[in-house]
Chains A and B, each alone.
Chain A
Amino acid sequence: MAVFIVRRLFSLVITLLGGFALLFILFFALPGDPATKIASNNGSKNASPQVVANVEKRLGLDKPIYEQFWNRLTDTVTLSGESYTTREPVSDMVKQRLPASLRLAIFAMLIEASIGIGSGVLSARRRGSIADTITTFAAVIAGAIPVFVLGYLITLVTGVYAFEHHWPEWARFPAISNNYDPSQWYLFIIPNGTQFELLIQPAIVLASVSTAIVARLTRTTMLEAQTADHVRTARAKGLSDKVVSRKHVLRNALIPVVTFIGIDFGTIIGFAILTETVFQWPGLGSKVATAAGQSDLPVVLALSMVVMLIYGLANLAVDISYAKLDPRIRLAGAK
């Protein structure tokens, strides 16, 4: 097991380095010169060559590419870079925004797991029923609706319509609010009332696509597992329906589902860019988007690497738990 983990960690480092290099090259190859852009952002429209040169010097943009690459790499690894535009240290940004991202992603994952697995099991056990049809159809729609359309539709109902038509208090949500307050979360993850109101809509929107996939996946694997030989044996033995479906079907059917949910945790954090933009949630994603728009290389690289690291660690955790759930699986390198 230890050998396996070390090998996977090594491979993760290679992937992160590769991703870093790719992003660096892409942003470095930008047609517009970042120094000119930053100089003209800070002051007049057409910055004088002297100002541009000063900015270049300050940011180290006048150095050869390999030196810049090395500087960016060390800055990113030690989280010691600062934003080109606001000079805000990257470490502060990560400290502020990573908890917000994690909170959103964890709640999205809870929704995904509970509603996804629940409706999947329901529609597999009552195949062909109305519940099954509704679940299947909802899953198909959720897969096709862009998160930003869904986000605004929900806002339209709970944030506009609900207020205009004087719906009860609990059905009304302030459309978009800047009241996110990190100090109002108990034990890191439990939101108080107003924080919950802020959180629940983006969490639902962020979870929508994944919930649909989980529901469909659970349904398929449940149906497959129900026809397995050992299930028939268990039935023939006279075990009750409940015991069979809980111990023999669900346990086997859930392995691919758990895998998916684990891997999806990383994807959710990455995809949160759209949801965070819609609901102005102060997470990593929305910051990466604005920083990329301003060619703010240190911020883009550092925050992307944080997201990639979470993604990679989630995958690793899944592979390990995989072996725990299914003893037949032997990890490569493990004895």
Chain B
Amino acid sequence: MTDDFDAARSGDPVHETPEVLHAGTIMIPALGLDASLQEVGPSRSLFQDAWRRFRRNKLAMFGLFLVILLILVAIFGPLFVQSPTKYSKTVFREPPTRQHPFGVDHRGADVLSRVVYGIRLSIFIGFMATAIETFIGVVVGAIAGWYGRWIDSVAMRFVDIMLGIPYIILAYAFITVLGRGVTAVVFTLALTAWLQTARTVRAGFIQVKEFEYVEAARALGVSNFRIMARHILPNVFQPVVVLMAVGVGSAILSEAALSFLGVGIQPPEPSLGLMVNDARSFLSSAPYLLLFPGLAIVLTVLGFLLVGDGLRDALDVKDN
């Protein structure tokens, strides 16, 4: 097609025969294409397009609803419940009543308020850990993918080693060093979870850095950092967005697991994992102590995982 065009333009004598009409006939399908584009409507950006697809996915919309609902609970919930560390001196392990809809735990604290504050803490930890993890993963992945050679080998070998250690043992090792409490948990989760992001970003960089426009930018003398940040990163960021959404969910799961094992959040801080750990001694006498925090973890994680899945479909990211 373009050959014909170029030939015609350059005045190739062969094409000055009536065959040059070809150039005209070629335009017709092109025009047709334009017409069909107009039928579809104005052009949409990638994210508008993704949102259209996301909206049609019922499970993903349910996930989004859960996420928004729980974020609202995390922000405004504390206005409506008492302090999670206000202990009653008379009421212990009381089943749900009108005054305490989720019951009272073995220390005399209102379970509802502990669940609300627990969700708040979970979501905070999930977002913080994911932000740090994504930052580390993007930086390591970008450097490994862009510079290649020994930097890449060393970085990827390190990633392989960390992935070879079972996750919980790795997290356990990190948290033992970092101590206890919210900050330690956030950093433990971030330092153990960036591996997948780094791999994904690296793969994207290796693919995209060969493209002509990157070469053009290099020829124009654009700095390495600017090419990486402005020219390549936006093009490899879609799978990272998916990993972020899923990452918040798995960070919340891991936080609950660490707290459950007793090495994460420490009492009296309200953590959902910790509440499940407390509840296990009273399984038969007070099952509500298990059910409400357990349900809160499931719904929070579920919301983020569903949003992640929905984003994966909407952005058409291939699973690896």
Contact = CB atoms under 8 A, between A and B. Distances in A.
Interface of A: 14-16, 18-19, 22-23, 26-27, 29-31, 136, 140-141, 143-149, 152-153, 155-156, 159-160, 164, 175, 266-267, 269-271, 273-274, 277-278, 285, 288-289, 292-293, 295, 300, 304, 307-308, 311-312
A270 B59 contact: no
Interface SS, B side: helix
Interface SS, A side: helix
Given A18-B161, A153-B294, A156-B283, A293 B262 contact: yes
B306 A152 contact: no
Interface stretch (B137-145, B167-175, B237-245): B167-175
B294 A144 contact: no
A277 B257 CA distance: 11
Interface stretch (B13-21, B31-39, B87-95, B295-303): B295-303
A29 B177 contact: yes
Contact of A144 (B179, B276, B280, B305): B305
B177 A152 contact: no
5 contacts: A26-B176, A146-B298, A148-B273, A271-B168, A273-B168
B173 A27 contact: yes
A148 B276 contact: yes
A274 B257 contact: yes
B165 interface: yes
A155 B294 CA distance: 14
A149 B173 contact: no
A16 B168 contact: no
Given A18-B157, A277-B261, A295-B176, A155 B283 contact: yes
Please indicate which of the listed interface residues A16, A144, A153 has the most CB atoms of chain B within 10 Å of its own CB.
A144
A235 to B, nearest CB: 27
A260 to B, nearest CB: 11
A266 B168 CA distance: 13
Contact of B166 (A27, A155, A304): A304
Contacts of B268: none
Interface in B149-198: 157-158, 160-162, 164-169, 172-174, 176-177, 179
A148 B176 contact: no
Given A140-B59, A308-B166, 20 more contacts: A15-B161, A15-B164, A18-B157, A26-B177, A144-B249, A144-B298, A144-B301, A145-B294, A146-B260, A146-B298, A149-B276, A153-B294, A160-B283, A164-B284, A175-B283, A266-B166, A267-B166, A270-B167, A289-B172, A292-B176
